[in-house]
Structure 1
């Protein structure tokens, strides 16, 4: 760690906004890909099922490459990997302009875009942010980064739709090339205080046996493995559950919008709390609240518009809140140079849980004609995650040094 004295709060916040431009644009673009579904079908002469399959591949590749990009950064640098990611995203958007066949679409989004987006993922950006602002301010920036992904999605959705309305897919893909190109110098600013590499000398390789035996990482891994399952129930099934309960679609969409705003608020608050409270205890509160709140909605709250809004806001406040303390504990106990790979591994298991949630929710709905079974599975997993998080504070955890 090259940062010896704490960075002032204004400098940390200013840097945080710069980092948020990089991470927020990447995350916001990826989560809004659904807006492009119909234009992509028309442009690539592909079916709904084919474009949906491209999106599924894109998300799986995005999750799978994150730990690989972390390992590549160990061999090269965060700057190299993030710059490569920006270039790949630029190339993918340029390729979309000529992707008039399904194989080209798969190459553009399932290949170039997914790999590029995974190279500008949370772990790498946070590691460079920690080098820049120091560990004292890192969780503040982590909260800002989490909020930026949601805010980026909120801001970019109408912008992308306006370009689609004006000029279709070519309009939105062409328009996005300029801001993506501007992300390259931003990536250089974000990585400007990374440790200087000596030619021919690489960072200490990850000692996987030591990681696998480290009690904090094991409990984090087990707890965070449930998080994707929970989040995708909300993203894939909650809106339809509100409508199934008799809530008009327009009002259900407003409840869902408030969920997004609450997610941003919760992410910022969690980043701030992670600098002032035990991060393991915060995770216990977040996971435990999810279980209790879900049971209250299923068996106590009337399924009316006001309570749908209340439920959505409660879920949003803890939606992305787990990321900051999870990343903070990785940074505290394990070498910072390992963090992009290890956080990427946590996000990969998050994506695996998301896959099972999305698919199991539909299967259980067909079987039971109710969302209650999948929510009850989620409650059990949240309780499990809370127990795993409580174990983090028990016993003594060693701080691993890269040079050990």
Structure 2
């Protein structure tokens, strides 16, 4: 049985007529691809930069940990601004900061400058121009029938950036050097600004937004008093922990086990390629099965895949096989997570409320990257962090099971 998409308001019909849904999806996907690529390549720069300046891996790891944390801290605020004024301004400011951070990182000759550029500036830049803002725009601008697959497509586009950029970074570093590669990536981020015009909506205009006329404070109080939202936020922590740790430390981990840095780059690329399939599949399944069960299955499967990878002998085959398996589960948590936020609370404050869930994700990312570098320097091994990832997967699988999949109960407005 088909469901008719909600009819847009008369004021919004002209905007939708001028901007076909397919064009919105394609431009949003291009932004997601561009912005996800360089941060997914951070592990490729770990060994060149630490060898150049004699730093420990904990120094580089702390910079990327700060990046993940501030990405998470900034996302709810960027989402609130996008909800109020539209996404284009947020995307443009974020792209400028991202470009500045990458270029400054190329000249960061001290730990302090590295933490400022790769950590603070890129972190806040990502909060304004990453796929989270794109997905919120999809939720507001697209008809309901387009949303599940659009969420999967936006996530998959970020994964294509992960497939494209690590081998590109490897090739450019070999050809022109790591500093020049960062500068090239920085200028590439400026392409986001003209593309973001396709996602423009007038201030306060959200064509398909749903939900009550709430204040921001009321929306936050409602969300954090809702146990299912709290469970969702807590479960998302594990996703960030695992993704950030693998993205930053996997190439070095494989090098420690006797494989070349090229294998590490191609493994990250394979993760991105496989996640295109995983994200699209997750978006499709999100409209056809229980989202909480889908999330639980993804986390349980991650625990099995990571445990098998750590226990098996290191080889190009096991590394690429791990890339395929974990890639299918990589960002597949995003469509059901964003879908549950939208189901519970509507789309009016989707960017902000999903932003708080993403903050939990990025707190996990901070700890995953930081602990990876810290424990490696203390223990000479990443093994403890791998097994912590397994334990967190099981915990997140369990914490998603009690989620109730229905809109939040709101009192009906009483006539005057």
TM-score by length of 1: 0.78
Aligned ranges 1:92-103 → 2 under 5 Å:
92=101
Preserved contact between residue 65 and residue 118 of structure 1 (Cα < 8 Å): yes
Distance 1:275 1:12, change over 3 A: farther
Preserved contact between residue 42 and residue 248 of structure 2 (Cα < 8 Å): no
Q: 1:311 & 1:229 partners in 2: Cα distance?
A: 17
Preserved contact between residue 163 and residue 271 of structure 2 (Cα < 8 Å): no
| Structure 2 residue corresponding to 1:154, chosen from 149, 152, 163 | 163
Q: 2:335 & 2:293 partners in 1: Cα distance?
A: 13
TM-score by length of 2: 0.76
Find the counterpart in structure 2 of residue 73 from structure 1.
82
Preserved contact between residue 128 and residue 193 of structure 1 (Cα < 8 Å): no
For the pair 1:217 / 2:217, whether they are aligned, the reply is no
Tell me the alpha carbon deviations over residues 339-377 of structure 1, each in whole angstroms, 9 at most, x when there is no partner: 222222222222222333344456767888876654443
Preserved contact between residue 66 and residue 121 of structure 1 (Cα < 8 Å): no
Q: Which moved more, 1:178-187 or 1:49-58?
A: 49-58
SS in 1 for 2:190: helix
For the pair 1:267 / 2:279, whether they are aligned, the reply is yes
Distance 1:400 1:260, change over 3 A: farther
Q: CA deviation at 1:32?
A: 2.3
Q: 2:345 & 2:404 partners in 1: Cα distance?
A: 16
Q: 1:304 & 1:162 partners in 2: Cα distance?
A: 22
Find the counterpart in structure 1 of residue 7 from structure 2.
4
Distance 1:35 1:319, change over 3 A: closer
Aligned ranges 1:199-348 → 2 under 5 Å:
204-207=215-218, 208-236=220-248, 257-295=269-307, 306-348=317-359
Tell me the alpha carbon deviations over residues 110-134 of structure 1, each in whole angstroms, 9 at most, x when there is no partner: 4443322211133321111122222
Q: 1:219 & 1:196 partners in 2: Cα distance?
A: 31
Preserved contact between residue 152 and residue 281 of structure 2 (Cα < 8 Å): yes
For the pair 1:48 / 2:55, whether they are aligned, the reply is yes
| Structure 1 residue corresponding to 2:408, chosen from 387, 398, 404 | 398
Tell me the alpha carbon deviations over residues 201-247 of structure 1, each in whole angstroms, 9 at most, x when there is no partner: x9731422211121321120121122223334544555666667777
Q: CA deviation at 1:294?
A: 4.3
Preserved contact between residue 132 and residue 193 of structure 1 (Cα < 8 Å): no
Tell me the alpha carbon deviations over residues 151-192 of structure 1, each in whole angstroms, 9 at most, x when there is no partner: 113323444555555655674465456543332121121234
For the pair 1:57 / 2:66, whether they are aligned, the reply is yes
Count of residue correspondences: 393
Tell me the alpha carbon deviations over residues 316-338 of structure 1, each in whole angstroms, 9 at most, x when there is no partner: 21111111100111111113232
Q: CA deviation at 1:90?
A: 4.2
Q: CA deviation at 1:248?
A: 7.5
For the pair 1:185 / 2:185, whether they are aligned, the reply is no
| Structure 2 residue corresponding to 1:381, chosen from 392, 405, 408 | 392
Preserved contact between residue 297 and residue 397 of structure 2 (Cα < 8 Å): yes
Preserved contact between residue 132 and residue 194 of structure 1 (Cα < 8 Å): no
Q: 1:400 & 1:177 partners in 2: Cα distance?
A: 46
Q: 1:302 & 1:89 partners in 2: Cα distance?
A: 38
Q: CA deviation at 1:255?
A: 5.0
Q: CA deviation at 1:21?
A: 1.4
Distance 1:21 1:130, change over 3 A: same
Preserved contact between residue 83 and residue 204 of structure 2 (Cα < 8 Å): no
Tell me the alpha carbon deviations over residues 263-292 of structure 1, each in whole angstroms, 9 at most, x when there is no partner: 222112112222222212211221122234
Q: Which moved more, 1:95-104 or 1:354-363?
A: 95-104
Q: Which moved more, 1:302-311 or 1:128-137?
A: 302-311
Q: CA deviation at 1:254?
A: 5.2
| Structure 2 residue corresponding to 1:85, chosen from 94, 97, 115 | 94
Tell me the alpha carbon deviations over residues 48-97 of structure 1, each in whole angstroms, 9 at most, x when there is no partner: 35666544433332222111212333443323222222233344456668
Aligned ranges 1:115-154 → 2 under 5 Å:
115-154=124-163
